[in-house]
């Protein structure tokens, strides 16, 4: 019906997709308000964003919270109430917030404030809200922001890449005597993992492995809320490692990728999709891992845990909750986690304490797995003394899987993790996954930039005048051009170099040019 602000350009394809994704696609008798999320592939080329500082934000934000370049997130507030004046006998409407940022808590909290007002007062309400949001400061990693909207101030901290993984967000914010007291969100994006994972707590390890390996997974849920929360919870359980595969928290049969994902002519893609329409049981039954969950209910004791079942047991109509897969885990089960969570249930520990336990466990698991890889890749960096000012910096040595495997005997995950099992097999499978590829590219890029930075520092330390003594004009001009190019690259790529280093290299260039004959000086200054 309405897109606000008006100048936001969506293609027709995107509009259609958003419409289908904004409503539950299977009959739900539930009346009232529900909230859920989706993620949508952008169609029709890159559009310029409003944010020119994308690079800066993405460099400082945790990898898991970067602004997406090819996808939009949709945050939905859906209302269904009886209304005899409507043709169908119901009032059904959704308000959707579209963003490139995965701030699920912030945006869903915002919708809880805006949507009820919007359904009541319509467009003028959106106009007022957008005017307020326009005044919000940009999200700067590491900063705590106060965001006023509709008479409330939402207070939230934007996480930063330098935060210590697993550290709890700062509890006590600067309460600059804000009146009214702000609505403080403990996290901008973290879900209540304990609530999301309650029917699968005893299988958390298997799910962690499937996510780590980027396996194709279908989550079949009774509602878009359960489906989107489960998918987002699963994609978050590898932090601080980035889940590099595609994921769709809620997916419908009208989606433009429906054919691509349901085809049987090729293997299912590395993707996790959340669905609610029973039709998918038939169209996706050739997928290797299907997680069927019921409605989430928080009860006093450990919720009924789903069982692992053979894929052949997947009945087309009445499929019972379960994990339908023939996957055998590489690592043995960790009984201590379940015991601690059970103890928490008996002692009526709040859900957020249980979630923190769960998140800590997953973090330690991921770190035990990733630390040996970090150690090995760091050893591929050339020695500092091999970096000399007048030669191109040496190459980073290639990543050899077999060499890495040899390091595991002395420096493997067993140093930090009590879990036994086939770690080597898990690494071998991991090397074939998009998550390894994404991790390796990111590290390689960072190391290449570090090398460039070290090289610039070496040039700064060098004695240029002594070097120039026996050099021809051609060699000197060549050096000027090379140094200039390095300087431009350092600035464009925001290499980790001190500003004074860059200024010194700039001065060097001027000094060298100054020593050349005048005609050459003129040419170089114009170049």
Q: State pLDDT tens for residues 402-423.
A: 999 999 988 888 777 878 899 9
Instruction: Give the pLDDT of residue 176.
Output: 57
Q: What is the mean pLDDT of the chain?
A: 86
The larger pLDDT score, comparing residue 297 to residue 401, is at: 401
Whose structure tokens read 């109509």? 317
Element (H, E) at 53: none
Which of 106-115, 262-271, 330-339, 479-488 is predicted most confidently? 106-115
Four-point Cα dihedral 456, 458, 464, 467, nearest 10: -120
Asked whether residue 197 carries a pLDDT value surpassing 60, the answer given is yes
Mean pLDDT confidence for 493-521: 83
pLDDT digits (tens, 9 = 90+) for 463-500: 777 777 777 888 878 888 888 888 888 888 888 888 88
Answer positive or negative: Cα dihedral of 396, 398, 403, 409: positive
How crowded is residue 445: how many other Cβ atoms within 10 Å of its Cβ? Answer: 11
Predicted pLDDT of residue 372: 95
Average pLDDT over residues 367-380: 94
pLDDT at 22: 93
For residues 16-32, give the mean pLDDT: 81
Q: Has residue 306 got a pLDDT over 90?
A: no
What pLDDT sits at residue 374? 94
SS (H, E, C) 373-416: HHHHHHCCCCCHHHCCCCCCCCCCCCCCHHHHHHHHHHHCHHHC
pLDDT at 50 over 60: no
Model pLDDT for residues 205-238, shown as the tens digit of each residue = 999 999 999 999 999 998 999 999 999 999 999 9
Highest mean pLDDT among 252-256, 279-283, 338-342: 338-342
Instruction: Name the band, by pLDDT with cuts 50, 70 and 90, for residue 172.
Output: very low
- Model confidence at 318, in pLDDT bands (50, 70, 90)? low
Whose structure tokens read 């909207």? 149
- Print burial letters for 154-183: b (CB count within 10 Å at least 16), e (below 16): bbbbbbebeeeeeeebeeeeeeeeeeeebe
Of 184, 190, 33, 39, residue with least CA distance to 112: 33
How far is the CA of 123 from the CAs of 150, 259, 482, in angstroms? Answer: 14, 37, 57
Give the percent of the chain with pLDDT over 70.
92
What average pLDDT does the segment 282-309 reach? 80
Kindly list the distances between the CA atom of residue 143 and the CA atoms of 106, 137, 169, 324, 487, in Å, as whole numbers in the listed order: 15, 10, 12, 43, 30
Strand, coil or helix: 155: strand
Arithmetic mean of pLDDT, 513-523? 80
Instruction: Specify the pLDDT at position 244.
Output: 93
Flag whether pLDDT at 156 surpasses 80: yes
**Which of 321-325, 368-372, 518-522 is most confident?**
368-372
Residue 488's pLDDT is 86
pLDDT: which is higher, 480 or 396: 396
Q: What is the mean pLDDT of residues 242-259?
A: 90
Residue 405: predicted pLDDT: 94
Return d(Cα 330, Cα 424) in angstroms, integer: 9
pLDDT recorded at residue 104: 95
Nearest 5°: CA angle at 165, between 160 and 166? 120
Question: What is the C-alpha to C-alpha distance for residues 512 and 475, in angstroms, rounded to an integer?
Answer: 11
Give the confidence band of 59 by pLDDT, cuts at 50, 70, 90.
Answer: confident
- CATH T-level topology, domain 192-436: Rossmann fold (3.40.50)
pLDDT of the residue at 28: 61
Residues 6+ apart with CB under 8 A from 519: none
Q: What is the pLDDT of residue 170?
A: 52
Quote the DSSP letter at residue 421.
B
| Whole-number pLDDT of residue 90 | 79
Provide the pLDDT for residue 420.
87
pLDDT > 70? residue 49: no
**Helix, strand and coil percent figures for the chain, each rounded to 5:** 45, 15, 40
Q: Is 80 exceeded by the pLDDT of residue 283?
A: yes
> What is the band of 399 on the pLDDT scale with cuts at 50, 70, 90?
very high
Q: What is the pLDDT of residues 115-125, one digit of tens each?
A: 999 988 888 88
- The pLDDT of residue 124: 83
Mean pLDDT of 366-383: 94
Sign of the dihedral defined by the CA atoms of residues 426, 430, 435, 441, in that order: positive
171, pLDDT greater than 80: no
Please tell me the predicted confidence (pLDDT) of residue 99.
Answer: 93
pTM: 0.88
Closest-CA residue to 214 (of 439, 389, 56): 439
Secondary structure E strands in 195-287? 217-220, 246-248, 271-275
Q: Report the pLDDT averaged over residues 158-181.
A: 67
Whether the predicted pLDDT of 313 surpasses 50: yes
Mean pLDDT across the stretch 148-158?
91
The string of pLDDT tens digits covering residues 104-140 is 999 999 999 999 999 888 888 898 999 999 999 999 9
Domain boundaries, the chain: 12-169+176-184, 192-436, 463-526
| Residue 27 buriedness (CB in 10 A; 0-12 / 13-18 / 19+) | exposed
Tell me the chain's radius of gyration from C-alpha atoms: 27
The predicted model gives 234-252 an average pLDDT of: 93
Q: Which tokens is 301 given? A: 């004791």
């Amino acid at each position: 019906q309405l897109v606000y602000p008006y100048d936001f350009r969506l293609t027709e394809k995107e509009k259609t997709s958003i419409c289908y994704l904004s409503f539950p696609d299977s009959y739900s008798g539930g009346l009232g308000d529900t909230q859920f999320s989706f993620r949508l592939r952008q169609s029709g080329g890159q559009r310029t964003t409003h944010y020119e500082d994308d690079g800066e934000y993405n460099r400082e934000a945790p990898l898991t919270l970067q602004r997406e370049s090819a996808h939009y997130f949709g945050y939905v507030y859906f209302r269904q109430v009886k209304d005899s004046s409507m043709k169908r006998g119901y009032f059904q409407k959704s308000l959707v917030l579209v963003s490139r940022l995965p701030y699920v808590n912030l945006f869903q909290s915002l919708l809880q404030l805006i949507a009820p007002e919007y359904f009541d007062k319509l467009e003028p309400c959106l106009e007022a809200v957008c005017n307020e949001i326009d005044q919000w400061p940009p999200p700067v990693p590491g900063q705590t922001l106060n965001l006023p909207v509709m008479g409330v101030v939402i207070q939230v901290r934007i996480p930063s890449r330098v935060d210590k993984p697993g550290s709890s967000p700062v509890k006590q914010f600067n309460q600059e005597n804000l009146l009214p007291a702000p609505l403080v969100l403990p996290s901008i994006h973290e879900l209540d993992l304990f609530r999301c994972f309650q029917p699968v707590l005893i299988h958390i390890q298997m799910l962690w492995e499937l996510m780590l390996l980027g396996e194709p997974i279908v989550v079949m849920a009774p509602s878009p809320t359960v489906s989107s929360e489960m998918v987002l919870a699963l994609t978050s359980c590898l932090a601080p490692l980035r889940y590099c595969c595609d994921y769709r928290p809620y997916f419908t049969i009208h989606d433009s990728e429906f054919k691509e994902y349901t085809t049987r002519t090729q293997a299912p893609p590395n993707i996790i999709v959340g669905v609610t329409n029973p039709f998918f049981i038939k169209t996706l039954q050739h997928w290797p891992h299907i997680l069927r969950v019921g409605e989430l209910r928080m009860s006093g004791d450990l919720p009924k845990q789903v069982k692992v079942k053979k894929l052949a047991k997947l009945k087309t109509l009445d499929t019972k909750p379960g994990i339908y897969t023939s996957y055998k885990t590489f690592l043995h089960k960790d009984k201590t986690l379940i015991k601690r969570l059970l103890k928490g249930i008996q002692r009526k520990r709040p859900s957020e304490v249980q979630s923190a336990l769960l998140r800590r466990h997953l973090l330690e698991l991921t770190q035990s797995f990733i630390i040996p890889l970090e150690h090995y890749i760091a050893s591929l960096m050339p020695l500092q003394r091999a970096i000399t000012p007048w030669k191109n910096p040496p190459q980073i040595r290639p990543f050899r899987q077999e060499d890495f495997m040899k390091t595991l005997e002395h420096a493997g995950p067993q140093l930090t993790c009590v879990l036994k099992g086939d770690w080597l097999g898990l690494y071998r499978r991991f090397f074939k996954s998009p998550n390894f590829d994404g991790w390796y590219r990111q590290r390689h890029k960072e190391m290449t930039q570090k090398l460039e930075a070290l090289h610039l520092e070496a040039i700064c330390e060098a004695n240029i005048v002594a070097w120039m003594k026996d050099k021809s004009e051609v060699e000197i001009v060549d050096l000027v051009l090379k140094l200039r190019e390095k300087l431009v690259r350092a600035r464009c790529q925001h290499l980790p170099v001190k500003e004074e280093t860059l200024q010194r290299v700039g001065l060097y260039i001027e000094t060298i040019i100054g020593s050349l004959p005048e005609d050459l000086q003129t040419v170089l200054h114009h170049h």
